[in-house]
Amino acid sequence: MEAAPPLASSQSRFFSSSFSTSSSPSSTPFILHRNFHRTNLKFKSRTLSIRCSGAADNVVTLLDYGAGNVRSVRNAIRFLGFDIKDVQTPEDILNANCLIFPGVGAFAAAMDVLNKKGMAEALCTYIENDRPFLGICLGLQLLFESSEENGPVRGLGLIPGVVGRFDSTNGFRVPHIGWNALHTVKDSEILDDIGNRHVYFVHSYRAMPSNDNKEWVSSTCNYGDNFIASVRRGNVHAVQFHPEKSGDVGLSILRRFLYPKSSTTKKPGEGRASKLAKRVIACLDVRTNDKGDLVVTKGDQYDVRENTGENEVRNLGKPVELAGQYYIDGADEVSFLNITGFRDFPLGDLPMLEILRYTSENVFVPLTVGGGIRDFTDANGRYYSSLEVASEYFRSGADKISIGSDAVYAAEEYIRTGVKTGKTSLEQISRVYGNQAVVVSIDPRRVYVNAPDDIEFKAVRVTNPGPNGEEYAWYQCTVNGGREGRPIGAYELAKAVEELGAGEILLNCIDCDGQGKGFDIDLIKLISDAVSIPVIASSGAGVVEHFSEVFKKTNASAALAAGIFHRKEVPIQSVKEHLLETGIEVRM
Ligand code: 1PR
């Protein structure tokens, strides 16, 4: 077992952080009781002399070639008490003592930058000299000979094999998003602690184990194919998953890399390949209340105002504090929805960006943020593209962005013309950040009809007939927080946005929102059967049984809830324990 790093500057800052998103002077300081102490207890004390040599001065060299967002990796490194030196030149790679390469973006674009800047050669030299290296995600894939992503494209060629796309024809949703346990095939040292615990993946491409690369492969994972989850040779490690987003387990992997063992290695931990775990997501609807404070609110069929004389915005807590608590409680993801983003320009809404920055410093599971992602011209005539808005969210700590209203307009136009212009927010953001980073949030409302032919949109037979005995319903999409119904159904929208580049669908239902009577199974089945990207079931969770019901009756990949978590009616752990008891795999 390894030592935890000493309480370094970032952690001192962390423990004394007093950021509050409320302007109220009486607000209690935000101190996230992250399990630093708990984690600490798992590691025996060791001396600094056995750190990876580059970490001896608490500095990790980071190869960020500027193609995407590596803020999460930075946050995790800092959380573990290290400073970061950014690679500027090939010499910085050659002089590094401990190098982390969190590849982001597309394979071809990354190789292009590495070749143009002379960094490809430096990286090969560094790795061939067995210097301490950790590649993450694309940082693993680039070590292989080539990739089929927009290719074939040549890689660094250090590991035999070709990186190919997951096959979605056999029913597996691509991208592969979520938590899996690993099958450890040889000692990898950095994975020694993880055993059967899950780590977070998000990718559409993967490398496969073969006889030619077996000296490298340290663990595999099964997702339709048996693919390479990690490689290790000497001091060189790379992982397909995201340790910086894998909660405690991920931090322990990073810690083991930064504090490698000095001598003998231990037997690999028991690891077995698992199915993709179902995710439990906590959602925070955020908006400014009438006093000007940014608060977590919660609607009742999207109405977030109290039924009192003052009619004030319901206030269920402070965003950063609640997000931190849900991370501790075991949420697999945290979503922020800036629910008035459709009328307030999000880049003018700096507190929302602050919320992301502070949350991402201490929350090491994926963070999604939505609200107001669209092209915008401000009062001074300055034009901002939706890509700029999304980029600001990513830079501030989001791992995924979620688009609501703008995706509806894009889908309507695409269905009308049959043309992909490449200019919609959806297309632009998924092209730059990858479709796994783009969620489309659908806000449909049930509309009952007597027969499916009564309406041009896809209607389903409903489990509970409508008020006049109607046996069918279609699900009308809305924009602007449910305020305006649009001439498009959730089914048509879901299929269109998948084609336009969405990587995941957050499927709300206005009728069920805040009702606590269960998810709309008819709707979720309709959509999760219609698309091959992951679908997050949302709206209506009231008891733990609602979660097992949605996973048993539909193909949803994740279930999201808000009210029951905010009001502390059902703890996240109870949901997970119940799912496990009913035979549904979850991350514990
Ligand atoms: O249109 O791109 O600006 O995005 C706006 C985003 O804000 C959309 O994702 C939209 O869903 C969300 N939004 C807008 N208005 C509201 C509102 O409530 N008045 N919230 C709103 C949507 C719904 C869920 C909720 C679940 C679970 N929130 O995310 O968290 O229904 O709730 P429950 O477990 O309590 O039933 P754009």
Among 284, 326, 337, 520, say which to mutate for ligand 1: greatest number of ligand atoms within 8 Å of CB: 337
Whether the per-residue pLDDT at 107 is higher than 70: the answer is yes
pLDDT, mean of residues 59-68: 83
Q: At 275, is the pLDDT very low, low, confident or very high (cuts 50, 70, 90)?
A: confident
Compute the half-sphere exposure of residue 307: CA atoms within 13 Å on the CB side of its CA: 2
Q: pLDDT tens, 453-463?
A: 999 999 999 99
Give me the sign of the Cα torsion angle 345, 350, 356, 357.
Answer: positive
Q: At 67, is the pLDDT very low, low, confident or very high (cuts 50, 70, 90)?
A: low
- Give residue 541 CA to ligand 1 midpoint distance, Å: 14
Helices marked H in 455-571 = 490-500, 521-530, 544-553, 563-566
* Number of neighbouring beta carbons within 10 Å of residue 379: 7
Write down the pLDDT at residue 54: 47
Read off the tokens for 491.
Answer: 């089914």
- Give residue 156 CA to ligand 1 midpoint distance, Å: 44
CA distance 236 to 150: 27
Beta bridge partners of residue 288, listed in sequence order: 294
Angstrom distances, CA of residue 349 to CA of 117, 383, 484: 37, 16, 23
Using CB distances shorter than 6 Å, the residues near ligand 1 are 283, 285, 298-299, 302, 304, 337, 339, 341-342, 370-373, 402-406, 441, 443, 481-482, 508, 513-514, 538-541, 561-563
pLDDT, mean of residues 41-63: 54
Give me the sign of the Cα torsion angle 371, 587, 175, 142.
Answer: positive
Q: At 34, is the pLDDT very low, low, confident or very high (cuts 50, 70, 90)?
A: very low
Strands (E), 59-105: 59-62, 83-86, 99-103
Among 441, 442, 483, 505, say which to mutate for ligand 1: greatest number of ligand atoms within 8 Å of CB: 441
Looking at per-residue pLDDT, the higher value among 38 and 102 belongs to 102
Residue 335: partners with Cβ closer than 8 Å, 6 or more residues away = 281, 282, 283, 284, 367, 368, 369, 370, 402, 506, 560
Q: pLDDT tens, 166-223?
A: 988 878 999 999 999 999 998 888 998 888 899 999 999 999 999 999 999 999 999 9
Read off the tokens for 203.
Answer: 């990718």
Read off the tokens for 205.
Answer: 């491409």
Q: pLDDT tens, 374-386?
A: 998 887 888 999 9
Looking at per-residue pLDDT, the higher value among 318 and 46 belongs to 318
Q: What does residue 426 show for φ and ψ, rounded to 5 degrees? A: -60, -50
CA distance 357 to 350: 11
| Ligand 1 atom with the shortest distance to the CA of 540 | 36
Token pair 């592969």 is at which residue? Answer: 176
Helices marked H in 100-209 = 107-116, 119-128, 138-141
